[in-house]
A and B are shown apart, each in its own frame.
Chain A
């Protein structure tokens, strides 16, 4: 693999999800904007939530912006991680801010997402990130925002503006999407893409994870099988059986 160290490797955001950190050679390059893409029930939200909780345990503030679920419902559905404590939410180590609140703070209406609105929205997120010194951001899901944006160029603008704000604040972000990102403008603009999926082997449905792209690091491109457990997301290589 290409040795990034010799070119002065960027700092890492250690996700704390051991298997993912191993795949990425030590974590997500700092300030990367990463899409976590996949269908229903593939573990996207669980992975992203663990990313925030592990960060909190390492002293890094996290912010979750749910765009579909209400805060209370989301909290009641938090995975039963043994390393998660409700106090993390109370103390704001993992802050949950609904998209509606972000929109209100920027005087925005979700139905009118033109260039000016996108800049305002990103500006509002940037302010929150800077004010709380947020080092890990999760938007679950970005589709709710991008579906109101009809043009590819504006979607690209949203991501590139967000990327610039995150870079300035040394904040690493996971944006959740149900889209197949290789075919979308978001996939091309994002710094990284983690693909979550289901692999059907003779009727056995295995949850999988594969890093398709991650700027700033050499990484494994193999497919892995994951399990969502109270001890976190566990990862093992997909067996190929010599095929």
Chain B
């Protein structure tokens, strides 16, 4: 595990501050470093809650992996858009809201809103994992509108909205969309 990268992610989030939509360009092999940086080095240390929207990996698998890596998962909540579509028996875990499909974009916004309500004023980090996964399942104009609505609402709440993206796998029009909906794009190579 790279000590440097997760610390650098936390530093960057600190530097940029809340109410700024940030895209983090990651690579597959530094994925857990980045996630650790967000959840452990940044959110947990600042007493923030993390709402983790996953369209890539079921929340139970991700939660298990994070616990194995001894990441502090207190204050971590999931919006799981994957488990239902796998059609198996869902391993339900606490603090998780399930959305039937990553195409039900409004429901994702509403689950984030729900977590925001139960957070009772605590500031949030909201992670979208990942832009690539959502781009695979949703029509692009719809995705752009979804991100715009979500980012605007999170900025109004002084949250830290973060979009994870793997740039090597993105077509130019999707890169353009990301530039439009995010205020800052941070390459993490």
Contact = CB atoms under 8 A, between A and B. Distances in A.
B146 A239 contact: yes
A227 interface: yes
Tell me what chain A mostly uses at the interface: helix, strand, loop, or mixed: strand
B109 A240 contact: no
A130 interface: no
A236 B118 contact: no
Interface stretch (B2-10, B14-22, B100-108): B100-108
Given A204-B101, A206-B106, A241-B139, A227 B111 contact: yes
Contacts of A227: 107, 110-111, 113-114
B149 A236 contact: yes
Contact of A234 (B100, B104, B114): B114
Interface in A195-243: 201-202, 204, 206, 225-227, 229, 231-232, 234-243
Range, interface on chain B:
20 to 34
B125 to A, nearest CB: 20
A201 B114 CA distance: 23
Contacts of B114: 227, 229, 231, 234
Nearest to A225: B106
Interface centre among B106, B110, B118 (most CB of A within 10 A): B106
A231 B117 contact: yes
A202 B102 CA distance: 13
A234 B110 contact: yes
Contacts of A231: 114, 117-118
Contacts of B107: 206, 225, 227
Contacts of B142: 239, 241-242
A236 B113 contact: yes
B100 to A, nearest CB: 7
Contacts of A236: 106, 109-110, 113, 149
A236 B145 CA distance: 12
B171 interface: no
Nearest to A202: B103
Interface of B: 100-101, 103-107, 109-111, 113-114, 117-118, 139, 141-142, 145-146, 149
27 contacts: A202-B103, A204-B103, A206-B104, A206-B106, A206-B107, A225-B106, A225-B107, A225-B110, A226-B110, A227-B110, A227-B111, A227-B113, A229-B110, A229-B114, A234-B110, A235-B110, A236-B106, A236-B109, A236-B110, A237-B149, A239-B105, A239-B142, A239-B145, A239-B149, A241-B142, A242-B142, A242-B145
Nearest 5 Cβ contacts at the A-B interface: A241-B142, A225-B106, A227-B110, A242-B141, A231-B117
